[in-house]
Amino acid sequence: DIRERTFIMIKPDGVHRALVGKIIKRFENKGLKLVALKFIWGKEDMFKKHYADLSNRKFFPHLVKYMCRGPVVPMVWEGLHAVEISRVLLGQTCSEECEPGTIRGDFSIQGNRNHPMGRNVIHGSDSVESAKREIDLWFTKDEVVDWKSAMHTWIYE
Ligand code: DAT
Ligand code: MG
């Protein structure tokens, strides 16, 4: 589905480390299309909802606190298999195990199987269903823009 959408969020460490432009460029380079973006300092209750499926994990309060530590950049990107392709661009959850060439592999250092930790720069939806839920949580209908890129016919045949 070339209209598939995924929810991506640059985390507070990505913002503080001035990686916003570099990260956005990677999604643009791939051929994904930006359909929504904002710059906000997220509130605790939003991150509790966002990470609701992890709420019974021991690291949950730590994770929510980290996400509240600074501004974030929530975005929606659209394109063929956007969810899966974006997860590949991101790399694994654990930064130490990420391939170079991925966002987490290139821009973050700490985190292994035993201690995944939080400072992994970016969030990306793990399924089409969670993408829909996350997009609805962070954006109103009006904030997600339907448009056709001038490059469309040179990215898809
Ligand atoms: P991902 O962000 O790759 O989708 P996830 O949804 O399983 O990973 O977890 C959300 C975030 O929580 C992840 O980016 C880092 C943190 N995290 C995950 N597992 C953890 C753990 N066992 N200990 C500490 N932090 C963890
Ligand atoms: Mg996840």
Over residues 47-104, the pLDDT tens digits come to: 999 999 999 999 999 999 999 999 999 999 999 999 999 999 999 999 998 999 999 9
Atom of ligand 1 nearest to the CA of 120: 14
Using the mean position of ligand 2's atoms as its centre, give its distance from the Cα of residue 50 in Å. Answer: 9
Q: Check if the beta carbon of residue 26 is closer than 8 Å to that of residue 89.
A: yes
Cβ within 8 Å of residue 152, ≥6 positions away: none
The torsion angles phi and psi of 35, rounded to 5 degrees, stand at -120, -10
Residues 15 and 24: their CA atoms lie apart, in Å, by 12
Name the 3-class secondary structure at 7.
strand
Q: What percent of the chain has pLDDT over 70?
A: 100
pLDDT interval class at 114 (50, 70, 90): confident
Q: What ipTM, to 2 d.p.?
A: 0.97
What are 151's two structure tokens? 């490059």
Place of tokens 């970016």: 122
Tell me what pLDDT residue 117 has: 79
Tell me what pLDDT residue 118 has: 78
